[in-house]
Amino acid sequence: MMWQKLSDKEKDLEKKMRRVHLFEHDIKERFIRSSGPGGQNVNKVSTCVCLEHIPTGLAVKCQNYREQGRNRFYARVLLIKKLEQIQQQARLDKTYEKAKKRRAKAKRPLKLKEKILKEKHHHSEIKSSRRKIDMLHTDDL
């Protein structure tokens, strides 16, 4: 790919790969025979492309086209999309955790504090009424 003249699509693909930190040396590529319609071409030529991203363990398979080159290109596109989804989810999780911490640290309104204290006192009264009577101090009765 590097020594050939690259098309605009291939240049865009390389830019996207760099943007999601996907490098060729991190990809394990296998070719297998496709299945489905295609006749003799499908039966004789290994046009299905399986890519595995070694650091994350993500795997994609592309057998949409009869040509191996197109399947290689689109398998990389699929892998980029999956990595982007994972990275987007990680960003969302991070912002969610930040917001959760911020909400936990926020001061409670005075009315809410008073209500919570009132409920605590009420609960403690109920619990104190359930205590066993201490037989040592019943002599005073």
From first to last of the 141 residues of the chain, give the pLDDT tens digit: 444 566 888 888 888 888 888 888 888 888 887 776 666 666 677 888 899 988 888 899 988 888 888 888 999 999 999 999 999 999 999 999 999 999 888 888 889 889 999 999 999 999 888 877 766 665 555
Domain with 125, as residue range(s), is 106-131
Residue 78 within a domain = yes
Residue 20 within a domain = yes
Strand order in the sheet with 48-53: 27-32, 48-53, 58-62
Residue 26 CA: distances (Å) to CA of 14, 31, 54, 119: 14, 17, 6, 58
- Predicted TM-score (pTM) of the model is 0.64
Residue 95 within a domain = yes
Residue 51 within a domain = yes
Q: Are residues 60 and 73 in the same domain?
A: yes
Distance, CA of 82 to CA of 69 (rounded, Å): 20
Summarize the chain as % helix, strand, coil (round to 5): 60, 10, 30
Confidence (pLDDT) at 140: 55
Residue 44 within a domain = yes
Count of the separate structural domains present in the chain? 2
Report helix, strand or coil for 68.
Answer: helix
Confidence (pLDDT) at 123: 94
